[in-house]
């Protein structure tokens, strides 16, 4: 849990592009005349709709390339653009407008893969980042190869996504772990609440979280526990998906998964006076369930991560409402029955709408479980075993939906202006 649940700055995919371009530009020793980027589907999907570095008007991959080429500092790692200010944007717009950025899908099976070729005055530099957003795997300037670890990419891709975890193990750990070892989860949930507060006090992304706290919305929905859970989670997502370089509490490398796995539980505890001890155990249950699902799915799936992670949130909420192991399993199965098939069409501001659905679904799934309602094994992919139900969900998202993913990628990369 310590290795998968931690605070981190979001939006690493566009920053990986800018980092690779900045490094290629540094090797080239001059401003590139042309930059060709070959990117994995994950990098494309999670960069194409994001405000690069949180700058309004700098949306998508061409701006990640342009800003990296013109102003990037490779030595800063993923903070490659931290010094960039809005007055630098016109030059980046001109770079993009001149057609200097060419984006192509890569044929690598790596989930994280950024290949950059920058050229000018008859010279060329090539850089590959792969496996992790800051890991340089290949560096070449003209004909001189400075680094080559591409042999590592040729290793057989491991498609065995079995997990040594199971729900009974997760539940037992969450109930028995010393509370002082779980305190970091509460600190992370509070961090995400602080991020949400930024959205309430400013304007980020779609502004859905802030909108839900407006006078009209309060009259329509009331101001009680569930709307507050949704508004806070959406507000934190608004900030993250606006591209702002702000730390959020993440799960399995995803800020949105960390938000849905922690913030609704914190708001529920505050609204209903749940004890800190019970909140800590609920957070552990939620976060470990998400890790378990991600083990089964793999790092890249066609399922929307917001709604997938809501199964963990449902588990934690069911426990905090007074449920036992069977109640928790019922909540997870209820949420699986509702969420299966929700596709991911990339990281973008409208992900906050998925977050709204995820939190609402998690709350309803937990409430149903508390009332003794569980989707039966005769329905769809649900089985008596919660572990087999989760495995069915993973098989669909990891394997069966691959063609969906290809179609979505084609649609978002071939849109008409």
Are residues 110 and 186 located together in one domain of the fold? no
Domain residue limits at 173: 167-413
The answer on 260 and 399 residing in a single domain is yes
CA distances from 177 to 58, 131, 182, 269 (A): 45, 33, 8, 20
- Minimal CA–CA distance to 72: which of 59, 50, 91, 57? 91
Q: Identify whether 228 is part of a domain.
A: yes
**What is the pLDDT at residue 157?**
45
| Domain end (from 154, 188, 216) | 154
* Pair 240, 388 in one domain: yes
Residues 193 and 59 in one domain: no
The neighbouring-strand residues paired with 125 are 118, 141
Same domain for 356 and 271, yes or no, is yes
The model's pTM is 0.84
Which pLDDT belongs to residue 155?
52
For residue 245, being part of any structural domain is answered with: yes
CATH of residue 79's domain is 3.30.1330
Q: Is residue 2 part of a domain?
A: no
pLDDT at 212: 87
Structural domain includes residue 25: yes
88 assigned to some structural domain: yes
pLDDT on residue 197: 96
Do 236 and 172 belong together in one domain? Answer: yes
Per-residue model confidence (pLDDT) at position 307:
82
- Position 7 scores a pLDDT of 86
* Residue linked to tokens 């993913």: 405
Residue 193 sits in the same domain as residue 327: yes
Domain end marker among 154, 175, 193? 154
Domain check: are 174 and 205 in the same one?
Answer: yes
- Residue 226, helix vs strand vs coil: helix
Of 358, 341, 314, whose CA–CA distance to 397 is shortest? 341
| pLDDT value of residue 159 | 45
Which of 386, 375, 369 shows the shortest CA–CA distance to 338?
375
Instruction: Show the low-confidence residues of the chain (pLDDT under 50).
Output: 156-160
Radius of gyration over every alpha carbon of the chain, rounded to an integer in angstroms = 22
Tell me, yes or no, whether 190 lies in a domain: yes
> Is 5 a member of any domain?
no
Question: How many structural domains compose the chain?
Answer: 2
Same domain flag for 229 and 255:
yes
Q: What is the pLDDT of residue 242?
A: 83
């Amino acid at each position: 849990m310590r290795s998968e649940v931690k605070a981190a700055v979001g939006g690493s995919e566009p920053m990986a592009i800018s980092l690779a371009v900045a490094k290629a530009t540094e090797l080239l020793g001059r401003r590139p005349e042309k930059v060709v980027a070959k990117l994995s589907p994950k990098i494309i999907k999670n960069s194409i709709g994001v405000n690069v570095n949180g700058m309004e008007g700098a949306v998508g991959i061409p701006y990640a390339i342009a800003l990296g080429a013109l102003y990037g500092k490779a030595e800063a790692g993923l903070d490659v653009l931290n010094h960039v200010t809005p007055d630098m944007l016109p030059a980046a717009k001109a770079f993009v407008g001149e057609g200097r950025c060419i984006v192509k899908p890569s044929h690598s099976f790596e989930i994280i893969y950024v290949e950059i070729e920058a050229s000018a005055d008859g010279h060329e530099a090539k850089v590959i980042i792969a496996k992790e957003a800051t890991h340089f795997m290949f560096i070449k300037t003209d004909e001189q190869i400075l680094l080559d670890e591409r042999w590592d990419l040729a290793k057989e891709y491991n498609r065995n996504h079995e997990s040594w975890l199971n729900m009974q193990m997760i539940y037992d750990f969450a109930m028995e772990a010393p509370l002082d070892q779980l305190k970091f989860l509460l600190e992370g949930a509070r961090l995400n609440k602080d991020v949400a507060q930024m959205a309430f006090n400013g304007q980020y992304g779609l502004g859905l979280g802030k909108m839900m706290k407006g006078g009209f919305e309060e009259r329509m929905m009331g101001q009680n526990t569930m709307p507050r859970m949704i508004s806070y989670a959406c507000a934190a997502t608004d900030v993250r998906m606006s591209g702002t370089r702000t730390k959020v509490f993440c799960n399995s490398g995803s800020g949105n998964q960390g938000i849905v796995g922690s913030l609704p539980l914190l708001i529920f505890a505050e609204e209903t006076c749940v004890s800190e001890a019970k909140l800590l155990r609920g957070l552990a249950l939620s976060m470990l369930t998400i890790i378990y699902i991600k083990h089964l799915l793999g790092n890249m799936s066609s399922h929307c991560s917001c709604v997938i992670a809501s199964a963990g949130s449902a588990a934690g909420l069911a426990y905090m409402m007074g449920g036992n192991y069977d109640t928790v399993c019922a909540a997870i199965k209820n949420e699986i029955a509702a969420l299966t098939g929700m596709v991911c069409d990339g990281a973008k501001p409208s992900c906050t709408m998925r977050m709204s659905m995820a939190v609402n679904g998690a709350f309803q799934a937990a409430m149903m479980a508390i009332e003794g309602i569980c989707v039966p094994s005769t329905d769809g992919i649900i089985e008596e075993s919660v572990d087999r139900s989760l495995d069915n969900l993973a098989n669909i998202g990891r394997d069966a939906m691959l063609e969906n993913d290809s179609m979505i990628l084609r649609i978002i990369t071939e849109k008409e202006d």
